Structure 1
C-alpha cells in the first residue's frame, strides 16, 4: 500500500495560496455582515424599544434565514461544477449580499423596521448560501493531506470578521452616536466588489489542471477527480445524508452553534446592562474572544489531521463547555476578557473541523452538498440561540437583572458538552486526513 507524502507548506503550489487568500477575504466579509447586527443589538433594541423576547425573536428570524439556502444552494453549486466553476458561481452571491447590506444601512431604510429586517433577511440568505460554496472552494484548491490546515486558515477569517464587526460598531457609535448605528452596514461592499472581480478572472480551468498535476507530482492526494468537478452529478444529497459521519457531525454542529451564537447574542447586553459598560464599549469588548480564535483555528484543525477529526471535536467541545460555564464568574470587565480569551481558543476552531470531516466523508463530486448539510445544521442552531437567550433573560428578570444571563451561560455550557458526547456515535472513517 502506497503511503502518501505529507508535504511542507512551502511545497504547496501558489495557486492554492492565492485561492486561500481570496476565500479568506470573502469569509471575513461574510462574518462581518453576519455578526454586525449582533454587535448592534443593544442599539437596535433601544431604537425600536424592543424587549428581550422581541429582540430574540427578530434576531432568530434573521439568523434562521441563513439556514434556507445552504443545502439547495450547495447542491446547485455541485451541479454547476467545482474548481474554477465554483469560484465563478460564488461571485454574484458575495456581491449581491454586500449590496443588500449597504442598502440596509441607508438611514431612511434602517428607520423602517419592516424594510430593514427584510433586507437583513436577504443578506443572510446570500451569506448562508455562500458559506458551503466558499468552504468547498477552499477544499478543492488544496491537497487532502493539508485540508485541515487550509480550512482552519480559511476560517481564521471569521474571528477577524467578528472582531472587525465589534470594532466598527464601536467606532460608528462613537462617531455618529446611538442613532447612527446603521452606518456600520456600509463597509462590506467596498471590499467585496474588487475582490470578486479579481476572483472571477483568476479562476480558470488551466490553473486547476496545473495545480492538480503539481499535487500528483508531490505524491499528495487530489481534492477530487477532475471529472467530478464537471458538475451535473445526480443523487448527491441522498448519498450525503446516508453518511453517519456527516449526519452526526451536523448534529454536533447544531448544538455548538447554539453555544456560539448564544455567546454572541448575550454578551453585548450583559456587558451593557450588568457589567455597566457604554453601548460602544459593550460592542467592542464583546468580541475579545476573536483574538485567540484566530490562533485556535490554526492549531486545532491542523491537529485534527494528525489525531483524527472526532477526538479533536470531543476535546474542543469539553473545553467550550468549561469556558462558557466560567462566564458565570465573569462579573468584571477584566474577568470577561480573560474568560473570552480562553473560550476563543476553541470557539471558532470547531467549524473548519466539522467541514473537514464532512469533506472527508463526502460522495464523489459532492463536497459542497456535504458542507451544505453542515451549514444548514449550523444555522438552525444559530436561529434557535437568540430566541432561547431572549427567553432565558426574560425568565431571569429582564435586561437589567443578572439572573437571566447566568441561566444563559449554564444552559449553553450544557449544549457544548452534549455536542461532544454525540460524537461517540460517529463510526471511524479511514481517510488520508483523519
Structure 2
C-alpha cells in the first residue's frame, strides 16, 4: 500500500468520523428536546388542567423544529454547492449547539409566563434550521471521500447520527432521572442535558475544522462548474429526483417518531409503564441501530437498494398492527421487543436512504437537492407525526387510527421508490 493510499484511507475515515460525530451531536440536541417534549416540557412551558392537551402543545414545538428545516436546507444546501461542504457543516454545528445550550438556561412559564414558550419555540426553530443544513452535507462529506461502489455504507455515517444522538439524549436524561428525585429533575436536572451540548459541540468542531474539502467538490470547483442558482436548477431540471427523495423519506420519519418519541407518551400514559422503562426500550433499540444502520447500508451496496428499502417499508406498514395488541397488557419485556423490531425495520429503510436520496441528483446539485428532499420530507412526515399520533389517540381513544396513519405514509414512500433511479457511477 502506497503512502498516498494510506493518506486517502486516513482522510476517508476522518470524513466518516466527522460525519458520524457531527450528526450524532446535533441529533443529541434534537433528541433531548424530543424526549423532554414527551415527558416534561408540557407542564413546564405549557401548563394546563389537561395533561394530554399540555403534551400536544409541547409536541407542537417539536414540530417547529421540522418546519424550520426547509429554511436550513434551502440556505445551507445552496451554500454547500457554492462554497463547499466543510464550511457549511461548521456553521450548522455551531447554530444547533448554541440554540440547545440556550434552552438549558431558559426560564420556564412559572418565571416569565408565556414569554418562556415563545423563546422555546424560537430556539427550537434555530435547532431545526441547523439540522436542515446539516444532513445533506454530512452525507456528502463521507460518501464523496469513499468508494462509489460502497456508497450505501459510507453515506450511512450520517444516518447513524439520529440513533446515536437519541441514545445519548435518552441515556443522559434517564441517568439524571435515576440520580435525582422527581422534584429535582423537574426543577433543574433536565437542564443539565441541554447544557452538556456545549462540550459535545466543541468536540465536533475540533474534528470538522481539521478536514479538507471533499474530492468531488474540489473537482467541480476546478472545472468551474459550481452552480450559481442551485435551487432554481433543482426545481427546473431535477424535479423527479426531488419528488423521489421527498416521498421516500416520509415513512421512515413517521415510523421513527412513533417508536422513539410518541411511544414514551403512550407507554407512560396508556399502559402505566414507568418513564424509566419506556426510555430503556428506546435506548436498547437505538443501541442496536448503531450497528444495523451501517450494516443495511452495506447490504444495499450488494443488493438492489430500492428493493431492500421497499421490503422494509412494507414491514413498517404491518408492524404497528402487531405491536399495539402485543403491548396492551403493559408487559415491559414485550414493549422492549416491540420497539426493537420496529427500529430494525427502520434501520433497513434508513441505512440505504442517504445513498438513495443523493443518487437522485447530479454531483453539482447534490447538496442542494439532497437537503431540499430531506427537509421537505420532514415537514410532511416527522414534523406533525407526534402531534397527529396524540390527536388520533385523543379523538379515537385507541391505536388503530395510528396504525392506519403509518400505512398511509408507507404508500407515499413506495411511490417515492417507484419514482427513484438506481445507482449511477457518479
Q: 2:257 aligns with which of 255, 261, 266?
A: 261
State the alpha-carbon separation in 2 of the partners of residues 166 and 153 from structure 1: 20
State the alpha-carbon separation in 1 of the partners of residues 314 and 6 from structure 2: 34
Q: 1:315 aligns with which of 311, 317, 326?
A: 311
The 8 Å contact of residues 104 and 195 in structure 2, kept in 1 or not, is answered as: yes
Q: 2:196 aligns with which of 173, 187, 198?
A: 187
Q: 2:125 aligns with which of 117, 121, 125?
A: 121
The 8 Å contact of residues 77 and 136 in structure 2, kept in 1 or not, is answered as: yes
Q: Which residue is 2:113 aligned to?
A: none
Give yes or no for the alignment of 1:277 onto 2:268.
Answer: no
User: Which ranges of structure 2 fall in alignment gaps of 5 or more residues?
Assistant: 111-115
Q: Which residue is 1:303 aligned to?
A: 299
The 8 Å contact of residues 281 and 339 in structure 2, kept in 1 or not, is answered as: no
Please identify, of 23-32 and 412-421, the stretch whose mean Cα deviation from structure 2 is larger: 412-421
Give yes or no for the alignment of 1:149 onto 2:187.
Answer: no
CA distance 1:236–1:67, change in 2 (3 Å): closer
Aligned CA-pair RMSD: 2.7
State the alpha-carbon separation in 1 of the partners of residues 118 and 143 from structure 2: 38
Deviation at 1:370, TM superposition (A): 1.9
Q: 2:186 aligns with which of 151, 157, 178?
A: 178
CA shift digits 1:348-389 (9 cap, x unpaired): 443352321232232231221121122113321111212311
State the alpha-carbon separation in 1 of the partners of residues 375 and 260 from structure 2: 19
Q: Which residue is 2:228 aligned to?
A: 234
Give yes or no for the alignment of 1:42 onto 2:51.
Answer: no
CA distance 1:145–1:224, change in 2 (3 Å): farther
Q: Any idea what SS the aligned residue of 2:171 has?
A: helix
Aligned residues: 398
Q: Which residue is 1:350 aligned to?
A: 349
CA shift digits 1:195-243 (9 cap, x unpaired): 313421x2236xx5xxx5xxxxxxxxxx567134777413533443425
User: Which ranges of structure 1 fall in alignment gaps of 5 or more residues?
Assistant: 1-8, 213-222, 398-402
Deviation at 1:156, TM superposition (A): 1.9
State the alpha-carbon separation in 2 of the partners of residues 388 and 61 from structure 1: 14
The 8 Å contact of residues 245 and 357 in structure 1, kept in 2 or not, is answered as: no
Deviation at 1:418, TM superposition (A): 0.9
Q: Which residue is 1:339 aligned to?
A: 338
Q: 2:166 aligns with which of 148, 152, 162?
A: 162
State the alpha-carbon separation in 2 of the partners of residues 126 and 310 from structure 1: 29
Taking the TM superposition and a 5 Å limit, the aligned residue runs for 1:76-225 are: 76-81=79-84, 86-106=85-105, 108=107, 112-174=116-178, 175=180, 176-179=184-187, 180-200=189-209, 202-204=210-212, 223=216
Q: Which residue is 2:322 aligned to?
A: 326
Give yes or no for the alignment of 1:21 onto 2:21.
Answer: no
The 8 Å contact of residues 300 and 308 in structure 2, kept in 1 or not, is answered as: yes
The 8 Å contact of residues 74 and 129 in structure 1, kept in 2 or not, is answered as: yes
Q: TM-score, normalised by structure 1?
A: 0.83
Q: TM-score, normalised by structure 2?
A: 0.84
Please identify, of 328-337 and 149-158, the stretch whose mean Cα deviation from structure 2 is larger: 149-158
State the alpha-carbon separation in 2 of the partners of residues 172 and 58 from structure 1: 23
Give yes or no for the alignment of 1:71 onto 2:78.
Answer: no
Q: Which residue is 1:5 aligned to?
A: none
Deviation at 1:23, TM superposition (A): 1.4
State the alpha-carbon separation in 1 of the partners of residues 140 and 405 from structure 2: 29
CA shift digits 1:64-105 (9 cap, x unpaired): 223332123201221112xxxx21221132023112211111
State the alpha-carbon separation in 1 of the partners of residues 378 and 360 from structure 2: 21
The 8 Å contact of residues 293 and 349 in structure 1, kept in 2 or not, is answered as: no
Q: Any idea what SS the aligned residue of 2:362 has?
A: coil
The 8 Å contact of residues 291 and 344 in structure 1, kept in 2 or not, is answered as: no
CA distance 1:346–1:155, change in 2 (3 Å): same
